[in-house]
Amino acid sequence: MIDMHCHLDLYKDPQKVILQCKEQNFYILSVTTTPKAWHGTKALAQDCERIRTSLGLHPQLAHERYHEVDLFDELISQAKYVGEIGLDGSKEYTQYQDVQTRVFNHILSTVEKSGGRIMSIHSRGAVDLVLDCLANYQDAGIPILHWFTGTKTQLKRAISMGCWFSVGPAMLATEKGKSLVKKMPNDRVLTETDGPFAKLNRKSIMPWDVQKATFQLSEVWQLKPEQTDVVLISNLKNLLRKNM
């Protein structure tokens, strides 16, 4: 199973969660929300080949942590993956749009100069702005839009720009989410949880709950769950092959 967007470091007992993921041979992209969290989060999974840590600066923290872009620049050479980065246009954060955009552009420019990376990107309420920024940094690597909540027109644009998508149980539980996933190219879709932020049955979702997304995807794709697993694993391998 694959969890392409999980905040392992934010669980109450990350070691316990990681142990269980290791036993089940999970592939996980362990995303971070600030550059300061990079070393500690990476250390959590130091002996797990299948858990990869990504260097990020979450858009909801950009107004408090913009000065950490210098640390981001310092650490980029150590990081093979980038995320969580992006923009958040929801009500509480529109007042910080300028600083968010400055931070996001700075990061994209650093990533581009460093040869590009696989990037896990937040775009809630800001899909067009995120895509505008990405269009200016076409050599920044491969964007994975996580938990995409835009319109069908925005989705079309994202697909035409080469974006990938990671989708989780919460997104696949809604009709809107399902209809978006139907329009995504099957060979650019991966599963995610966004745990512990996302909830399942009112509890923080765990990486292994990603299995629910696999079942939901099977319905959308009209495949057997084991066939869906084959598609997802082959997608992950194709993606990793593109990472320089």
Interface size with Mn ion, residues (CB under 5 A): 2
Smallest distance from Mn ion to CB 219, Å: 25
Smallest distance from Mn ion to CB 57, Å: 12
Choose among 165, 164, 162: nearest CA to 137: 162
Choose among 133, 127, 169: nearest CA to 148: 127
| Residue 125 burial class via C-beta count within 10 angstroms: exposed 0-12, middle 13-18, buried 19 and up | middle
Binding residue (CB under 5 A) for Mn ion from 3, 68, 192, 194: 194
Smallest distance from Mn ion to CB 148, Å: 13
84 vs 209, which CB is nearer to Mn ion?
Answer: 84
Choose among 181, 139, 130, 138: nearest CA to 158: 130
How far apart are alpha carbons 218 and 68 in whole angstroms?
A: 41
**H helix or E strand, kind and range, residue 5:** strand 2-6
Residue keyed to tokens 């362990």? 30
How far apart are alpha carbons 176 and 172 in whole angstroms?
A: 8
Find the residue with minimal CB distance to Mn ion: 194
What mask of x and - would describe binding to Mn ion in positions 204 to 243, judged by CB under 5 A? ----------------------------------------
Q: How many residues in total does the chain contain? A: 244
192 lines the binding site for Mn ion (CB under 5 A)? no
84 vs 229, which CB is nearer to Mn ion?
Answer: 84
Tell which positions 65-84 bind Mn ion, by CB under 5 A: 84
Smallest distance from Mn ion to CB 5, Å: 6
42 vs 58, which CB is nearer to Mn ion?
Answer: 58
144 vs 181, which CB is nearer to Mn ion?
Answer: 144
Tell which positions 125-164 bind Mn ion, by CB under 5 A: none
**Inter-CA distances, 40 with 35, 125, 148, Å:** 10, 30, 28
**Beta strands across the sheet bearing 164-167:** 2-6, 27-30, 51-55, 81-86, 117-122, 141-146, 164-167, 189-191
177 vs 231, which CB is nearer to Mn ion?
Answer: 177
116 vs 195, which CB is nearer to Mn ion?
Answer: 195
32 vs 110, which CB is nearer to Mn ion?
Answer: 32
Smallest distance from Mn ion to CB 223, Å: 27
Binding site for Mn ion (CB under 5 A): 84, 194
